A and B are shown apart, each in its own frame.
Chain A
Amino acid sequence: MAGRGKLIAVIGDEDTVTGFLLGGIGELNKNRHPNFLVVEKDTTINEIEDTFRSLGSLLGSVVEAEPNEHDPPLWAEIDSRQFLHRDDIGIILINQYIAEMVRHALDAHQHSIPAVLEIPSKEHPYDAAKDSILRRARGMFTAEDLR
């Protein structure tokens, strides 16, 4: 892994994922699950959240603590796809409108790796006011701090 480097994951609509896969970030083989998720109309918020959640957490045991009672047969599959728990992912690219669906998971992610980057989508332009990183930076300064 030291010579190979980390991967870039992407969670987005069809065009965003296709584009970045064209850029050469995709990984998929018999042993490894994909480092991308195409979000379609029938993709549930749970699936997005589960896929994202493991990408950044360095605490692998957290995954086993939260079984999905609604889809027990899918639990193992979703577990192994979770990006936040994979230690080989350095950056997660996510469309901002999808990030809004799982904003609580993004705000809870405090680690520097993987870094989460919100990008626009075709129907939803980028809004800096919604970006988690910029909101944290904006919330730094209060009237008291500037005295």
Chain B
Amino acid sequence: MAAPDLRAELDSLLLQLLGDLEELEGKRAVLNARVEEGWLSLAKARYAMGAKSVGPLQYASHMEPQVCLHTSEAQEGLQKFKVVRAGVHTPEEVGPGEAALRRRKGPAKTPEPQSSEAPQDPLNWFGILVPHSLRQAQASFRDGLQLAADIASLQNRIDWGRNQIRGLQEKLKQLEPGAA
């Protein structure tokens, strides 16, 4: 590859890296804000339920993850993360596009096969009726998990970009030892 092409590619990678760093900073600020909201909500829940009512003593002895990560490799060495929630069902859409009346067939004949395998909501560890603040905490930390996956993907992209840039710089040095 000729030196001008390498330089153009290097410039492109550098610009992408700087863009990724800026995006990372933005997402980090949002993640930190969500986590702080979550702590505040946990503190409110603790105030409502009692000091020792929200903590490791309430953890279940058996836990199944409601959230898992799917990884995909966009390019060689570049991993991307996506958070997937277990037991998410898309609601049936009955929209205005239907020309005829929807025929109601009565009770559902086939229940969802996954309903028996749906993991237990961690809110249930803390009792049947939990304060709204605990639900808010859960929502904040769930948002945080989505952001964490995006940030992890960005971090991987930054590391990947960094390695690509170093490789190109080495090639440039070999092609143009005098310029270095």
Contact = CB atoms under 8 A, between A and B. Distances in A.
A binds B: yes
Interface of A: 4-8, 14-30, 34-35, 38, 90-91, 93, 112-113, 115, 117, 119-120, 122, 125-126, 128, 133-134, 136-137, 140, 144-145
A19 B122 contact: no
A56 to B, nearest CB: 12
Interface string B46-75: 000000001110011111111111110000
Contact of A23 (B54, B63, B141): B141
B38 A19 contact: yes
Chain B, interface size category, equals 35 or more
B56 A17 contact: yes
Chain A's interface: helix, strand, loop or mixed, by majority?
mixed
B62 to A, nearest CB: 5
A140 to B, nearest CB: 6
Interface of B: 17, 21, 24-25, 28, 31-32, 35-36, 38-39, 42, 54-56, 59-71, 77-79, 81, 84-86, 119, 121-123, 134, 137-138, 140-142, 144-145, 148-149, 151-152, 155-156, 158-160, 162, 165-166, 169, 180
A93 B42 CA distance: 19
A24 B71 contact: no
Contacts of A27: 63-65
Chief secondary structure at chain B's binding surface: helix
B155 A133 contact: yes
B65 A18 contact: no
Contacts of A140: 162, 165-166
B70 to A, nearest CB: 5
A127 to B, nearest CB: 11
Given A26-B122, A91-B148, A5 B68 contact: yes
B137 to A, nearest CB: 6
B32 A90 contact: no
A90 B71 contact: yes
Contacts of B156: 112, 115
A99 B55 CA distance: 22
A117 B155 CA distance: 9
A137 B21 contact: yes
Nearest to B29: A126
Across the A-B interface, give the 7 residue pairs with the lowest CB-CB distance, nearest first. Answer: A24-B66, A5-B68, A115-B152, A23-B141, A90-B69, A26-B63, A28-B63
A125 B84 CA distance: 29
Contact of A5 (B17, B24, B70, B123): B70
Contact of A6 (B25, B71, B77, B86): B71
